[in-house]
Structure 1
């Protein structure tokens, strides 16, 4: 981790710890309410993100300390003045810690409410975000915390941090002999390491290695449930899931351990329905089924002490509080209540002790804490221009379009809006076909396309959003007329789930939110790939195919924030087009208004990315031939450049160390 640390004091930074422009006009409470509804911040923001009186995004990393907040737009500008490059990740470790406290508090309330005698703690699955800064921020929160690994490399990372936490380590995923041996070494070192049996082939290796190392293994079993959630990750659960033992295999495992004299080693029951469970009913159903496994295992003489319900605790990316794939219809309290009640009820009914409850809630802990901030580098607008009539002898489709245009202005009849739009679309279609056959020239095609855009502008102004009959036309025109905004980032590197699984992330400007959202936009990245576009956006009315934007100057556009990217995105990001990691900073906000910013990742440069694909930037040369000299081609030319890089007839043009975005 870098030692680069900067601090902004209250006296030099204004009310929220950063410089503010005194010329900006404070927004009214009515305007603030409108913007909150437009972007659904009140729901997905979870009190961490808000719009302040200047129309800027503000961040409150700990809602229990509301005076500790920072103006994100001004913070980014201050960092840019100090040399910060965009795009960059702005990470708030205090949000991580608050999320952990909030989940723990919800389970504490549930246990007290239902008289549940067992303990609870959260085990953080580091695959969600393996960065050291994330793991250590959680460990240093002062809250009980365990760690989960799903591979050998992750287990090594977990063991490296195990000395900082006296909780448990849970080992999931595919386990070969080396993985199992490493876990048993961790147990021998004094850590409480649970090896979760997910394939029958694992148990023989575990028993062999345990005997060889002279250590008593601590085991868990993952039950494959019939219950299955819905959504993008539903294949994680159910009878066809990749991991877990069927009922017959669970019985076989018990008998193998009994015969080996290791039945007491089986102490943990685990199941996993999937990530981002949207419907609380699916969670409750899965817990009730798994509780029956707990009861039946006790009847077989297995003293299960820990009940690991796995992941699934979702977050509301949309702010709709629905069963949509990117939302949830429950909160932390309801989630905790359903789990504690279902397990406790099964225990009371069968006279069994209350086990320690474990959840592996990685997404719910990390998602909110990171914002990707980037700048707009280009805007393409469909502008309205003065319309002129076609030539008197123009072909019929051109004359028809002009007649529709005149009728729109002469009658002003709203009932004809849809008809005007359809007529102009049919005429434009005929003109496009005629252009392909040579009937229309380029000037005529351009005239028709511009007139159609003018018609769309006119129709759009007369539509009423409150009229349900107008909504389909409004949506169609918003897509057609939306600004194309080119943003300095790679979707594949910074938000791979938006591309890979249509994950929705809240996106909005960091400033200018004291203006009405009059414009619509679609966001495009700077990769050479048509998939590098965001297709869905949070909107006050639900999910839209265009993003609401306040009026802005295309020559001086606002910065954009891509929120809730703290889970999975950093580690899943790929290097398509050789765009590398962005810079990342940790931001700490204090009640006195001061802000500390620490550079945690310098990001990749062009040179770094070239080296990754075995190209040394220090030896990359562009030969500049002398007058009359011909280029040599193919393999011979490449060999010649490589072996004679110092030839006098070549000029070395080096690849300088610049940002990769």
Structure 2
């Protein structure tokens, strides 16, 4: 009988897959021996596999290059990394190996940009696309960057006051973009995004505040929708509305030459994940070219701001199943030695799915379970609401440790979870490992941060005398 966990996976999915395979009966992720990692560093732990960042950037650049050639598209493509997905130095250093640009969201982002410039990781030629609602410190920092010679810093105007605020502090001429306030899907609780300026107001706004303003040059229109890039009627309809605004603006604003289509590429969240990236890129460029030809305007240069797509698939979290609680006839709770609320906050905040697989004991029988975290919060769990299917794992056995991994967790989880700070119920942040490859292609590991100690948390709480 096919009653082993490996049989279940083989019957349910195509396996092995590009990044997942078994070796010596244990799970490998991008050829990383996860059991060896556990033996060396223990569990729980988090890791970042740095080469996957460069790999995904290269994939996206390849899709756009192919689409540009196929469509005989005359514009250029610029890949920007959305820093809010993960601000860590090791992430930025890896991403910037690939001749990319930066998108910022707040004042302190500019400090990071200036630090990277000092290190020689970026230059004045690197585009810094400054998004977000801008007030005093953010405006000051943008102005400092531009006044220091970084002319490729392009603040994206989010509201009607920002041009005046920026012009007061920037010396001389500077370039800007305008963000479109896209209309949300009908299921949203609100109709129009709070970010940007409405479709119908952009041309009047240009005529009123930009057209005769000698200090400001409009270079970019920014378009992004919360649901991301999806092959559905809603996305294509919003893109078409954006292109109508772009072509209308281009006819009266010769300096406008770029369209920023934001981020929103999905990342793999189960072994059944399917998304035709190449088709989507090709169709987007085709639609842009077709509308521009109909309106007899030049096609724009294309900018993207991929954040989760850049860094998400580089991350993982490993836990040990500590104990099993049978709460009723149907529900078995496998308790992990950490907390979902603190280490994978998106699992409870927005019911986000991640790839979840056991690391060992694949050749043993399995059972249906729920996964619970260590906090005393009823929301600290992971079940079929987040997971694409019911959760099956090798049967709990107190004499045989079971380790499980959550994969493609590299975007947002550390910043939302409050890396290095207080955690719910004072559950410590796990240790974090950086995984790379040396010149010979061999896997290397380095401890980035230790698991939090009680004194770390007590100091934050004011118990300094301890």
Q: Same fold (TM over 0.5)?
A: yes
Structure-2 residue corresponding to 1:484: 333
Q: In structure 2, the residue corresponding to 1:507 is in which secondary structure?
A: strand
Aligned-partner Cα distance in 2 for 1:250–1:34: 54
Aligned-partner Cα distance in 2 for 1:33–1:361: 36
Please point out which of 182, 207, 210 is paired with 1:257.
Answer: 210
What is the CA-CA distance between 1:330 and the residue it aligns to?
2.9
Q: In structure 1, the residue corresponding to 2:435 is in which secondary structure?
A: strand
**What stretches of structure 2 of length at least 5 have no aligned partner?**
none
Structure-2 residue corresponding to 1:608: 456
How far does the alpha carbon of each residue in 1:575-624 deviate from its partner, in whole angstroms, 9 at most, with x for none?
Answer: 111224221111124696732111112242111111111112x43xxxxx
Whether the aligned pair in 1 keeps the contact of 2:5 and 2:393 (CA below 8 Å) is: no
Structure-2 residue corresponding to 1:242: 194
Question: CA 1:573 to 1:285, structure 2 compared with 1: closer, same or farther past 3 Å?
Answer: same
Structure-2 residue corresponding to 1:561: 405
Whether the aligned pair in 1 keeps the contact of 2:173 and 2:214 (CA below 8 Å) is: no
Question: CA 1:537 to 1:562, structure 2 compared with 1: closer, same or farther past 3 Å?
Answer: farther
Q: Answer yes or no: is 1:543 the counterpart of 2:374.
A: no
What is the CA-CA distance between 1:242 and the residue it aligns to?
0.9
Q: TM-score, normalised by structure 1?
A: 0.64
Matches within 5 A, 1:444-483: 453=329, 480=330, 482-483=331-332
Whether the aligned pair in 2 keeps the contact of 1:39 and 1:508 (CA below 8 Å) is: no
Farther off after superposition, 161-170 or 287-296: 161-170
Structure-1 residue corresponding to 2:126: 167
Whether the aligned pair in 2 keeps the contact of 1:40 and 1:538 (CA below 8 Å) is: no
RMSD, aligned CA: 2.6
Aligned-partner Cα distance in 2 for 1:274–1:229: 9
Question: CA 1:254 to 1:174, structure 2 compared with 1: closer, same or farther past 3 Å?
Answer: same
Q: In structure 1, the residue corresponding to 2:174 is in which secondary structure?
A: coil
Larger radius of gyration between Structure 1 and Structure 2: 1
More strand by share: 2
Structure-2 residue corresponding to 1:634: none
Aligned-partner Cα distance in 2 for 1:270–1:167: 18
Question: CA 1:279 to 1:612, structure 2 compared with 1: closer, same or farther past 3 Å?
Answer: farther
Q: Answer yes or no: is 1:336 the counterpart of 2:271.
A: no
Aligned-partner Cα distance in 2 for 1:361–1:155: 18
Structure-1 residue corresponding to 2:26: 56
Matches within 5 A, 1:187-586: 187-191=146-150, 192-210=152-170, 214-226=171-183, 228-229=184-185, 240-255=192-207, 256-262=209-215, 265-321=217-273, 330-381=275-326, 453=329, 480=330, 482-516=331-365, 518-536=366-384, 542-544=388-390, 547-574=391-418, 575-586=423-434
Aligned-partner Cα distance in 2 for 1:381–1:200: 58
What is the CA-CA distance between 1:71 and the residue it aligns to?
2.1
Whether the aligned pair in 2 keeps the contact of 1:230 and 1:278 (CA below 8 Å) is: no
Structure-2 residue corresponding to 1:389: none
Matches within 5 A, 1:74-223: 74-77=36-39, 79=40, 84-140=41-97, 143-162=98-117, 163-165=120-122, 166-191=125-150, 192-210=152-170, 214-223=171-180
Q: In structure 2, the residue corresponding to 1:121 is in which secondary structure?
A: strand
Aligned-partner Cα distance in 2 for 1:593–1:203: 49
What is the CA-CA distance between 1:557 and the residue it aligns to?
2.3
Whether the aligned pair in 2 keeps the contact of 1:505 and 1:537 (CA below 8 Å) is: no
Question: CA 1:266 to 1:36, structure 2 compared with 1: closer, same or farther past 3 Å?
Answer: farther
Question: CA 1:593 to 1:266, structure 2 compared with 1: closer, same or farther past 3 Å?
Answer: closer
Aligned-partner Cα distance in 1 for 2:417–2:13: 26
What is the CA-CA distance between 1:312 and the residue it aligns to?
1.7
Aligned-partner Cα distance in 2 for 1:85–1:319: 26
Question: CA 1:491 to 1:32, structure 2 compared with 1: closer, same or farther past 3 Å?
Answer: closer
Whether the aligned pair in 2 keeps the contact of 1:506 and 1:538 (CA below 8 Å) is: no
Whether the aligned pair in 2 keeps the contact of 1:39 and 1:538 (CA below 8 Å) is: no
Question: CA 1:600 to 1:171, structure 2 compared with 1: closer, same or farther past 3 Å?
Answer: same
Figure out how many residues of one structure are paired with residues of the other and give that number. Answer: 454
Question: CA 1:136 to 1:230, structure 2 compared with 1: closer, same or farther past 3 Å?
Answer: farther
More helix by share: 1
Matches within 5 A, 1:2-17: none
Question: CA 1:577 to 1:552, structure 2 compared with 1: closer, same or farther past 3 Å?
Answer: closer
What is the CA-CA distance between 1:102 and the residue it aligns to?
0.6
Q: TM-score, normalised by structure 2?
A: 0.90
Whether the aligned pair in 2 keeps the contact of 1:125 and 1:361 (CA below 8 Å) is: yes
Aligned-partner Cα distance in 1 for 2:234–2:15: 27
